[in-house]
Amino acid sequence: VAVVGGGDTAMEEAIFLTKFAKKVYVIHRRNELKASKIMQDRAMKNPKIEFVWDTVITDVLRNDQKMVSLDSLFKMSTRKKFYFTHPRKRKMITPFNFLKFNNRYWLFLAIGHKPNTETFKGQLDLDSHGYIVVEKGGVRTSVPGVFACGDVQDSRYRQAITAAGTGCMAAMDAAKYLEDFFTQHT
């Protein structure tokens, strides 16, 4: 099992996956992590997690829409590509079976988690990381009648369940806002 990334999400996924896999490899393009200190410590202390530093995936070998192996990686520091499969024969020639678990290969991408809020720049208040600023414990934004929910305003949890919860909050607040608006303007 391999996790690609170096932030909190990657560390969280790697730690979680150790419950199911004998070994979890974290592949990261740098030689240091962006994850918070506490998440780094948890991952580094876990004996089932091994880090593959300064490396990016360049090829994934697939067969019938299933991943067969990582074909090659690119070592950033040496600027060299190295293969785990023979480039022509496509057979495993080195022990890169770490991705295999339950007779399947697993690769988890935990990179580039960034809110897609460019459209709202200059219209809504955004924090320094691009998340929409909402009132504490709510979903109201800096513009009356505009509500934000899910990952665009949740920099901490970024989970489907919290997105569903804030979605429900936004719907309820929007309904109340519209009810009040029409009551005042009719």
Q: What is the pLDDT of residues 110-122, one digit of tens each?
A: 776 778 899 999 9
Mean pLDDT of 137-166: 86
List, as one string, the DSSP characters of 35-64: S-HHHHHHHHH-TTEEEE-SEEEEEEEEET
What percentage of the chain has pLDDT greater than the value 90?
35
Instruction: Give the count of beta carbons closer than 10 Å to the beta carbon of residue 78.
Output: 9
pLDDT in tens, 40-75: 999 999 999 989 888 877 666 555 555 445 555 666
Instruction: Give the count of beta carbons closer than 10 Å to the beta carbon of residue 55.
Output: 20
Mean pLDDT of 147-169: 84
- Asked if residue 69 lies in contact with residue 96, where contact means CB atoms within 8 angstroms, the answer is yes
Mean pLDDT of 91-115: 57
CA distances from residue 95 to 23, 37, 92 in whole angstroms, order as listed: 13, 32, 7
Q: What is the dihedral of CA 75, 78, 79, 80, to 10 degrees?
A: -70
CA distances from residue 146 to 13, 153, 179 in whole angstroms, order as listed: 33, 12, 14
**Domains in the chain with CATH codes:** 2-109 (3.50.50.60), 118-184 (3.50.50.60)
* 104 band by pLDDT with thresholds 50, 70 and 90: low
Q: Which of 48-57, 87-96, 152-161 has the lowest mean pLDDT?
A: 87-96
- Asked if pLDDT for residue 35 goes beyond 70, the answer is yes
pLDDT value of position 160: 66
* DSSP tag of 65: T
pLDDT value of position 95: 36
pTM for the structure as a whole: 0.55
What percentage of the chain has pLDDT greater than the value 70?
71
For residues 125 and 129, give the distance between their C-alpha atoms in angstroms, rounded to a whole number. Answer: 11
